[in-house]
Structure 1
């Protein structure tokens, strides 16, 4: 039965609007940046971020205080009939608030098997390309305290380890799509964001999926009240998240030293770790290190489940030679090293054209940018193109490790310019193509 010593009274402070003084504190980390993008869907949370950021920016400029340029991006994902109107409402509000805004659109393919996951991946890819085009390095989102707790509970049900249970970070350098993600509201209850909009008289849209119990996050949110009756109130849950984050940070610092000394990556994608560097590490450090390398090589936004990492680790260190697949990666171990490369045939990125002045994230791994003076290019997977090249150029990796490497060719059908692959041939003038960095 419920713990009678714990009050179940509603938390009045969770419905107090955010005033200017508190907004100054919450948004202070943005002040020293040259430019920040805001991801605004039109829902209550992101609309509150937009409103508070615009008001904060106006106050700082009036006081001649350091302030970033702020650009708003809204995505019409086409998943609901209302999506277009909601995006237009965001653009209209930005115009009223005096902030530059851009509409990004995505048309979902008809054959997607996991629509929500692919929509999320597409959204961050669109945001990343738009930010690169404008030279913006950080994206602010409106994730709040309730989202943080939902994330923690969801990962708890999945058996996550220390890093998974540290949930979302307020400043994540290695967010989805390789973006730096800022989350200034992680300590703020979601009800306070809605209360702030109500006081300001700012309208917002509502996504009906936020109340649909078929979604796990909705069921977890409803579970929070019962947990509070047993002493697991939001403050205690957040304290646990913060302790996990501190432990995760210490483990990552250890793993980063190992990666600096013992990880090698070919410019075309494959990577290699010295086996001896891993064998003596504590299991928790080793598992996290493997998780980081898999995410880096495979380009996945979400890490594999902890139990799958444990199985990988067991096989790697119970035999001298092995070959496995996980997180869109092939993991091939021999007695000396462990090689990782992008698995062929898994969620293949389409070959696409890129125009002068454009930028895109290809396959979740490679950032391609063209200067305004460069020629239009076509980027796609190498396939068997590199199978006959010298082993020294392949740095000892097998030819199959480059099947999912990027290849650049001229977008002009009449141009017979040779194909270009990073690490095998020099890039054309005005072209930047590089793997997203492994965060250390």
Structure 2
């Protein structure tokens, strides 16, 4: 999960005081004695949070684990999404300042199953259905993010905490049916034919398929996209003769290279327009379709050209 040759500094652990993250702390402390550090985040949303952080601090003190409490403010909007953004931003800064080689969170198989069902219900594409990744980067930073407990069930993690004589905190929002995840969690608990471990395995298979698409998209970028510097600025020429899923990734990368940013849904709609030989405007970038005979292979190929969108005239 965290190869020894990649380790540079302690493993940072995000620990809330709930049973999952306390189990992470206990297991990591045993596996990497003297090489872990813990941070707990108070989102400022519940008065009980101070006591939960004190619980984690006491558990760390007993085990000589360095501990840091982080206080954040959550912006208005989608509460859970904003809290997640603020939490990862704070943890990323802490991990960097503490010299951590990576940050670990306590996501487990039940979380993975819930995420898959929620994203299926929203019509997510393959990238979303791949679920919670075992490896990644802390959003907005270059800190490695690992999730070593994805193969564990929640009940097993609770057993670890109980065996060590700790009483975990319980976040009431986890049971609040106003939130989608709580409703999905209740649904899983009420229907035993929905096996969380099997759903998590399906998410793993989807993640493997997504890695194949990422690999193919990298080749598409390297071999089928050419930059041309022209008087009005850079233009990218893209020989777009691959499946749509690959086109979407390459179009997003071209737009990013031209200083824009678009979602996969937006890139997909643009790719559909270009495939119909219609211009597409997205993220400040203009895409223009055409064809070109490639003598090397002796066939006519679709070629899409992208350049910064001209400034609109104001009368």
One fold, TM greater than 0.5?
yes
Q: Is the 8 A contact 1:322 1:334 kept in 2?
A: yes
Structure 1 segment 175-186 matched on structure 2, within 5 A? 175-178=138-141, 179-186=143-150
Superposed displacement of residue 222, structure 1: 2.1
The TM-score, its normalising length taken from structure 1, stands at 0.58
Match of 1:140 in 2: 104
Q: Is the 8 A contact 1:263 1:272 kept in 2?
A: no
Counterpart-to-counterpart distance in 2, 1:273 and 1:118? 36
Quickly say closer, same or farther: Cα 1:276–1:77, change in 2 above 3 A. Answer: same
What secondary structure, in the 3-state scheme, does the structure 2 residue paired with 1:132 have? helix
CA RMSD of aligned residues (A): 3.1
Quickly say closer, same or farther: Cα 1:103–1:225, change in 2 above 3 A. Answer: closer
Q: Is the 8 A contact 1:37 1:131 kept in 2?
A: yes
Structure 2 residue 236 is matched with structure 1 residue 274: yes
Structure 2 residue 140 is matched with structure 1 residue 165: no
Quickly say closer, same or farther: Cα 1:95–1:292, change in 2 above 3 A. Answer: farther
Counterpart-to-counterpart distance in 1, 2:255 and 2:15? 30
Counterpart-to-counterpart distance in 1, 2:153 and 2:31? 20
Match of 1:285 in 2: 246
Structure 1 segment 184-333 matched on structure 2, within 5 A? 184-225=148-189, 227-229=191-193, 232-260=194-222, 262=225, 274-277=236-239, 279-290=240-251, 304=263, 308-319=266-277, 321-324=279-282, 329-333=283-287
Quickly say closer, same or farther: Cα 1:85–1:337, change in 2 above 3 A. Answer: farther
Counterpart-to-counterpart distance in 2, 1:249 and 1:148? 17
Q: Which of these residues, 19, 25, 31, is aligned with residue 44 of structure 1?
A: 19
Superposed displacement of residue 310, structure 1: 3.2
Superposed displacement of residue 275, structure 1: 4.2
Q: Is the 8 A contact 2:236 2:254 kept in 1?
A: no
Counterpart-to-counterpart distance in 2, 1:215 and 1:97? 35
Provide the aligned length of Structure 1 versus Structure 2. 288
Quickly say closer, same or farther: Cα 1:129–1:320, change in 2 above 3 A. Answer: same
Counterpart-to-counterpart distance in 2, 1:255 and 1:187? 29
Counterpart-to-counterpart distance in 2, 1:71 and 1:30? 18
Superposed displacement of residue 128, structure 1: 1.4
Q: Is the 8 A contact 1:77 1:106 kept in 2?
A: yes
Superposed displacement of residue 171, structure 1: 1.4
Superposed displacement of residue 191, structure 1: 0.9
Superposed displacement of residue 311, structure 1: 2.4
Quickly say closer, same or farther: Cα 1:332–1:75, change in 2 above 3 A. Answer: farther
Structure 1 segment 42-191 matched on structure 2, within 5 A? 42-58=17-33, 69-109=35-75, 112-172=76-136, 174-178=137-141, 179-191=143-155
The TM-score, its normalising length taken from structure 2, stands at 0.79
Q: Which structure 1 residue ranges, 5 or more long, are not aligned?
A: 1-27, 62-68, 265-270, 340-395, 401-440
Counterpart-to-counterpart distance in 2, 1:136 and 1:249? 27
Superposed displacement of residue 273, structure 1: 7.8
Superposed displacement of residue 102, structure 1: 1.4
Counterpart-to-counterpart distance in 2, 1:53 and 1:273? 49
Counterpart-to-counterpart distance in 1, 2:189 and 2:70? 37
Quickly say closer, same or farther: Cα 1:235–1:316, change in 2 above 3 A. Answer: same
Counterpart-to-counterpart distance in 1, 2:113 and 2:90? 27
